[in-house]
Amino acid sequence: MQDTIFIRLRFVMIGLATLAGLVVLQLLRIEFTTDAQTYLRNLSDQQSERLATFAPPRGSIFDRDGDLLAANSVQYELGVSPEVLSQNQIHELAVSLSTVLNQSVGELEEKMLKGKAEAKDYVLLARPIPAEIGDRIETLQEEDANFFTVSLTPIPHRVYPGLRLAAQALGFVGYSDYGQQGYYGVEGFYNDLLAGRSVDGKEYMVPFDAQPNPAPDEGADLYLTIDRDLQFLVEGALQSFVQTYGAESGSILVMDPRTGEILAMAAFPSYDPNNYATSLPGDPQNPVVSGQYEPGSTFKVLTMAAALDAGLVQPTTPFMDNGLIEVGGVPIRNWNQSAFGAVDMVGCMRHSINVCMSALSTQLGPQTFYNYMAAFGIGHRTSVDLSAEAPGRLKVPGDPDWYESDLGTNAFGQGVAVTPLQLVTAISAVANDGVIMQPHILKRVEAGGRIHYTQPQVLGRPIRPETAHTLSEMLATALETGEAEAALVPGYRIAGKTGTAQIPIPGGYDGRQTIASFIGWGPIDDPQFIVLVKLDKPRTSIWGSETAAPAFGSLVNRMVVLMELPPDNVRQALAGQ
């Protein structure tokens, strides 16, 4: 009996020794055989790393003082692997998810059953979903066995803490097949800069906190020229003006004529870029840079500038207005269908006399007049750093739709199309010694520890400094003694001009509705702002002097306080010390 046990033990030991020898031989083969090493290394790599595309966090957007305007948050993509679920489990999962996602059971069940039938290992159920819903689903994953196939993938989400504040200037971020994509405004124009550079590389899962290799280039942070407090003031004022004067819509632009910096930019109605899918207006473009309109009498500033600069007239040059002038066989009359009699050039601006402006443009002649308008940038984009800028339209001799009468009507802003930004940029030359500065909204860029500042750039010099000073004085005098005195700001000398523009319709112009506007700048001895107020189709009055002019005065009265601009007498006394 004992002999039998010893024999069996001997066989067991021989077997174990043989097995151990085989293991040693296999280890030696792996150690010294290249093919085996490659196989195991590849197997290890498959379990600890995977190929992936890495996108860096999108850069943040701040105002000129560092107040946050756009930042990043996290939302989720929700998917499921239906191939391992039974039909009953799919139904139960659909019931559980329907209350969380606010989707119908049938819709969710149909997606999962279709994925199962097609043997898909992943089916997208919802994207994006808010972080709070993602947290609820994570809780359900711990409590409900059917949730073991549910996956939550974090996806970046753009957040605008100011809600509607500066929405038209900022634009918004949506999702495309390639990730986040900026649309309109700053988000659209500077999308590549904000997005950074994605890279294809390896994502390491062991250790779990390992970083992707290589690392993507970070998105840049942008600091705008916008002043958040001024923007808030302008938006609130615009909404009030639209309601007070019964306007259909409106725009306000505030710019520093010395630098071209856009300090505030507002349009009403606006939208919440956090919920752009449900709150976008019919046209999401920014009307300050994209909305073309006939400017009406505000355009007379440019006509008078051309006449003064060309030496055709001086402020005291007399003009006899009989209420009618014929240009190209077309009779042109004043806005009130009457004659103002004997006036000078200041009187032409004070009373906004169409006939006077047409007389000036015809005396200048087509070549000189349109050369000046081109020098002011009319009919051309300003190349502002915002998406979807429109070029405006200025017909010139040689165009198939230009007629000789256009020379007369263009002089008072009819038959020519501009954007609010284009008009402000052109007239800013009068406020800035005859120099047009490039309008821009980016103040500086911070990326990778480096800072790049936007330097002011000269866009053009359409008129001489003396012309600019003379015209500013003329407009200030006309404003102080004219019908738009509601635009005056106590303690500050302001230059400006009203506009009441007819709206083109098929076959002519709308006889009942207008676009009312006022453009002004100051203080005229040291202009630090130029402001355009534009109200579309006001119902309380069609005239700019009765709507946009008082709106301008109300806004600038508050602006000078916010901008900490002392009254003229105080500022001049301090400068003389």
Q: pLDDT digits over 449-486, tens only?
A: 899 999 999 999 999 999 999 999 999 999 998 888 99
Establish how many alpha carbons lie within 13 A of residue 396's alpha carbon, considering only the half-sphere containing its beta carbon: 14
pLDDT at 50 over 60: no
Mean pLDDT within 509-537:
96
Asked if residue 204 lies in contact with residue 47, where contact means CB atoms within 8 angstroms, the answer is no
Collapsing DSSP to helix, strand or coil, 104 comes out as coil
Mean pLDDT within 526-547:
97
pLDDT at 281 over 50: yes
- Report yes or no on 126 lying in a domain: yes
- Report yes or no on 278 lying in a domain: no
Q: Report pTM.
A: 0.84
Q: What is the pLDDT of residue 394?
A: 97
Closest of 493, 490, 475, 485 to residue 557, by C-alpha: 490
pLDDT at 30 over 70: no
User: Which are the contacts of 522, defined by CB distance < 8 A and separation ≥ 6?
Assistant: 489, 492, 493, 494, 495, 528, 529, 556
Mean pLDDT within 7-36:
64
C-alpha to C-alpha distance for 462 and 472, rounded to whole angstroms: 15
170 in the same domain as 28: no
- Report yes or no on 277 lying in a domain: no
Specify which of 59-73, 128-142, 211-225 reaches the highest per-range mean pLDDT: 59-73
- Report yes or no on 281 lying in a domain: no
C-alpha to C-alpha distance for 519 and 123, rounded to whole angstroms: 56
pLDDT at 67 over 70: yes
pLDDT at 524 over 90: yes
The region of weakest confidence among 49-58, 303-312, 400-409, 536-545 is 49-58
pLDDT at 390 over 50: yes
Q: What is the pLDDT of residue 5?
A: 62
Task: Write down the H helix ranges in 33-79.
Answer: 34-48
82 in the same domain as 40: no
321 in the same domain as 267: yes
Q: What are residue 26's phi and psi, to 5 degrees? A: -65, -40
Q: What are residue 76's phi and psi, to 5 degrees? A: -135, 155
Q: What are residue 488's phi and psi, to 5 degrees? A: -65, 150
Mean pLDDT within 72-94:
88
Place of tokens 């195991």: 40
255 in the same domain as 183: no
- Report yes or no on 205 lying in a domain: yes
The domain boundary, picked from 9, 24, 48, lies at 48
326 in the same domain as 244: yes
Q: 87: domain range?
A: 53-224
Q: What is the pLDDT of residue 151?
A: 84
Mean pLDDT within 334-348:
96
Side chain identity at residue 183, one-letter code: Y
Structure tokens at 577: 């010390």
62 in the same domain as 151: yes
234 in the same domain as 220: no
Count: domains in the chain: 3
CATH number of the domain within which 317 lies = 3.40.710.10
* pLDDT tens track for 403-450: 999 999 999 999 999 999 999 999 999 999 999 999 999 999 999 889
Indicate the pairing of strand 249-255 with strand 221-224.
unpaired
Q: What is the pLDDT of residue 36?
A: 54
Q: What is the pLDDT of residue 153?
A: 82
Mean pLDDT within 289-305:
97
What confidence category does residue 96 fall into, taking pLDDT thresholds of 50, 70 and 90? confident
142 in the same domain as 43: no
CATH number of the domain within which 158 lies = 3.90.1310.10
Place of tokens 């008072």: 412
The per-residue pLDDT of the chain, averaged, comes to 89
Q: What is the pLDDT of residue 57?
A: 87
The torsion region of residue 185 among left (phi > 0), alpha (psi -120 to 50) and beta comes to left
338 in the same domain as 438: yes
Q: Which neighbouring-strand residues pair with 418?
A: 293
Q: What is the pLDDT of residue 549?
A: 98
- Report yes or no on 506 lying in a domain: yes
pLDDT at 13 over 80: no
* pLDDT tens track for 169-215: 999 998 776 678 999 999 999 999 999 876 665 555 444 444 555 55
- Report yes or no on 186 lying in a domain: yes
Collapsing DSSP to helix, strand or coil, 67 comes out as coil
262 in the same domain as 122: no
Mean pLDDT within 234-238:
98
* pLDDT tens track for 557-573: 999 999 999 999 999 88
C-alpha to C-alpha distance for 382 and 427, rounded to whole angstroms: 13
pLDDT at 254 over 80: yes
Q: What is the pLDDT of residue 130?
A: 87
The DSSP secondary structure of 2-24, one letter per residue, reads HHHHHHHHHHHHHHHHHHHHHHH
Q: What is the pLDDT of residue 1?
A: 55
More confident residue, 271 or 30: 271
94 in the same domain as 21: no
Neighbours of 76 (CB within 10 A): 22
What confidence category does residue 329 fall into, taking pLDDT thresholds of 50, 70 and 90? very high
pLDDT at 24 over 70: no
C-alpha to C-alpha distance for 256 and 531, rounded to whole angstroms: 9
Mean pLDDT within 302-309:
98
User: Which are the contacts of 205, defined by CB distance < 8 A and separation ≥ 6?
Assistant: 47, 48, 49, 50
Question: Three-class SS string for 368-433?
Answer: HHHHHHHHCCCCCCCCCCCCCCCCCECCCECECCCCHHHHHHHCCCCCCEECHHHHHHHHHHHHCC
Pseudo-torsion of CA 325, 329, 332, 337, nearest 10°? 90
Mean pLDDT within 285-310:
97
Q: What is the pLDDT of residue 206?
A: 46
Q: What is the pLDDT of residue 122?
A: 86
What confidence category does residue 18 fall into, taking pLDDT thresholds of 50, 70 and 90? confident
Q: What is the pLDDT of residue 45?
A: 53
512 in the same domain as 390: yes
Q: Which neighbouring-strand residues pair with 310?
A: none
User: Which are the contacts of 212, defined by CB distance < 8 A and separation ≥ 6?
Assistant: 52, 54, 199, 201, 202, 203, 204
Place of tokens 């020519």: 416
Q: What is the pLDDT of residue 303?
A: 98
Closest of 496, 492, 498, 504 to residue 560, by C-alpha: 492
Q: What is the pLDDT of residue 47?
A: 47
Collapsing DSSP to helix, strand or coil, 103 comes out as coil
Q: What is the pLDDT of residue 6?
A: 63
What confidence category does residue 39 fall into, taking pLDDT thresholds of 50, 70 and 90? low
Neighbours of 449 (CB within 10 A): 6
Mean pLDDT within 40-53:
53
Angle, to 10 degrees, between the axis of helix 105-117 and the axis of helix 87-101?
140
- Report yes or no on 282 lying in a domain: no
Asked if residue 504 lies in contact with residue 295, where contact means CB atoms within 8 angstroms, the answer is no
Q: Which contacts (CB < 8 Å, 24+ apart) does range 129-132 have?
A: 129/75, 129/76, 129/77, 129/78, 129/101, 130/75, 130/76, 131/73, 131/74, 131/75, 131/76
* pLDDT tens track for 110-154: 998 998 888 888 888 888 888 888 888 888 888 877 777 888 888
Strand spans (E) along 48-109: 49-54, 61-62, 68-80
